[in-house]
Structure 1
Amino acid sequence: MCAWEVKRFWKEAGVNEVEGGFAVHLDGRAVKTPAKAPLVVPTRAMAEAIAAEWDAQEGKVDPASMPVTRAANSSIDKVRTQLSEVAALIAAYGETDLLCYRAEAPEALIALQAEGWDALLDWAHATHGARLAVTQGILPVAQPAEAIAALAAQVAALDEWELAALHDLVGITGSLVLGLAVVQGRLGAAEAWDLSRIDEEWQIAQWGDDEEAREQALLKKEALLAAERFWALRHPAATDAN
């Protein structure tokens, strides 16, 4: 069944182990994705999170309040059907990574960027052999082919669930390095958000805040944290170990 634009008709959402993973059932009826594929996810933790989102619905189903369900649907309907294309799209962020583009002035902002970003670029080099070039200003800088290939290999090794999470982590921050750092445990999504906002927060400190822009930023931060959670639900054993 398709959940979108329907009212709640079920009493209870449950989880059942099935071939290929775990399915969510509403009063015994299996949930399907918007493309009518079986909503079967790889871990019980993910299925239970989805079931909890369905149980929380009152009246009309609100997809905006169901981030795990939406991410799982995207993993199945979109990412799985074009795995290599999505991986390539994500990997391409390495060629224009946010962390590589520094301000030309003032010195205080230059120092903030260096303090926040240099350690992550060093991590990418030490961990993956990817030394990205840094420039000042907005003119593009060519990145070493071996560095891009090393980062792309990390992305290409991921499955559809992992790519769905990484897609949002990278797209929202504008940084492949930050996205990989989150999923590989170098830092949390909240810290990645702060690092990705150095320029914006500097401008706000100088010229003041805009209410509409702040609301949009909060929505993006929520989506970033949701992506981090989706990755963790794909790897519950690793999360429990931490």
Structure 2
Amino acid sequence: MLASKCRGFVPCSIIFRNMATVKRFYRRTNILSSGGKFEITLDQRKLKTPKGQIFEVNSKPLALAVATEWESQGDIINRGNMHLTALCSTALDNPHNHNKLDIVNYIVNYLETDTILFHSADAEELTKLQMEKWDPLIQWFCDQYEIDIVKTNSIEAPVVPLQTKAVLTRHLSSYNFEAVQGFMYAVDTLKSVILPLAAVERVIGIEEAVRLSRLEEEYQISHWGNVEWSHDLSKHDLQGRLAAAILFIHLNSSSSTSQPKSNSSSIVAN
């Protein structure tokens, strides 16, 4: 079921990782203001998207953040850690021609597979840990949006009433296309809808959101050990992706508040 939902939604980070590695070909970065939009330059050349469009954003802070990603590259450009660049390029090129409602529906339907709604029925200690750490956020989610949802203790999907989906659809639809792209990136990163929403509303921080998304894995590690470098690398990668997504959402949103909304690629330079 999940595979059918995800078909056609290729995370922009995967697109970037699949591009050829290139050596750094510029000395310095800068931003230009043009018609109310902001462009990034590499030396005297304008940054472009994978489809050849001029790379431009509506937010000066976002342009500065993207320029910083390029400025921080070493001798080899590592596109795999340029998450803001990838998010902007995906929003500009829209390679799969999705509209905002397509993405909103993807996120809303993902709620049926939300990591923190699946509680263990086998390990009592793990179940208690999940109840302690996850239940308060599930309750926050229900209270914040005045909806109902029931977690599950089996492999069956949790019950997500149609009214819950309708409320969440209205909330997400109140954001612009770019911000909704950011939400999708965050959801794919954490395998959760509730955790990114809580992070956007500053209920939890980035590190806590990642820690909660990995709760079962951390529990298993505490009992069986881990390959330390691999564990840390994965954790920091998730934190970087989520931080970029949350920043992208905020910098593209002029109406994001702590209250629910009303119900009424690789880049080249020429």
| TM-score (norm: length of structure 2) | 0.77
| C-alpha displacement of 1:211 | 5.2
Partners of 1:5 and 1:202 lie apart in 2 by: 37
* Cα pair 2:179 2:250 within 8 Å, conserved: no
Higher helix share: 1
What code does the residue aligned with 1:139 have? E
Partners of 1:4 and 1:25 lie apart in 2 by: 21
Structure 1 residue 193 corresponds to structure 2 residue 203: no
| C-alpha displacement of 1:178 | 0.9
Distance 1:23 1:140, change over 3 A: same
Partners of 2:44 and 2:255 lie apart in 1 by: 28
SS in 2 for 1:22: strand
Residues 200-242 of structure 1: CA deviation (Å, up to 9, x unaligned): 111111222145852444433332233233334435998xxxx
| TM-score (norm: length of structure 1) | 0.85
Determine the structure 1 residue equivalent to 2:66: 50
| C-alpha displacement of 1:134 | 1.5
What code does the residue aligned with 1:53 have? E
What code does the residue aligned with 1:72 have? C
SS in 2 for 1:31: strand
Determine the structure 2 residue equivalent to 1:156: 173
| 166-175 or 217-226, larger mean C-alpha shift | 217-226
SS in 1 for 2:94: helix
Q: Quick one: which of 78, 89, 111 aligns to 1:94?
A: 111
- 1:49-198 paired onto structure 2 within 5 Å: 49-78=65-94, 81-83=97-99, 84-198=101-215
Distance 1:159 1:236, change over 3 A: closer
SS in 1 for 2:187: helix
Distance 1:121 1:225, change over 3 A: same
Aligned CA RMSD, in angstroms, stands at 2.7
What code does the residue aligned with 1:156 have? S
* Cα pair 1:165 1:231 within 8 Å, conserved: yes
Residues 24-82 of structure 1: CA deviation (Å, up to 9, x unaligned): 12334321111112211121011111122222334443312422212211121127941
Determine the structure 1 residue equivalent to 2:238: 220
Partners of 2:110 and 2:219 lie apart in 1 by: 23
| C-alpha displacement of 1:7 | 4.0
* Cα pair 2:179 2:253 within 8 Å, conserved: no
* Cα pair 1:95 1:142 within 8 Å, conserved: yes
What code does the residue aligned with 1:158 have? Y
Partners of 2:66 and 2:77 lie apart in 1 by: 13
* Cα pair 1:122 1:131 within 8 Å, conserved: no
Q: Which blocks of at least 5 consecutive residues in structure 2 are unaligned?
A: 1-18, 257-270
Partners of 2:110 and 2:125 lie apart in 1 by: 27
Residues 94-122 of structure 1: CA deviation (Å, up to 9, x unaligned): 12222221111332211111111111111
| C-alpha displacement of 1:20 | 4.6
Partners of 2:229 and 2:43 lie apart in 1 by: 41
Aligned residues: 237
Determine the structure 1 residue equivalent to 2:11: none
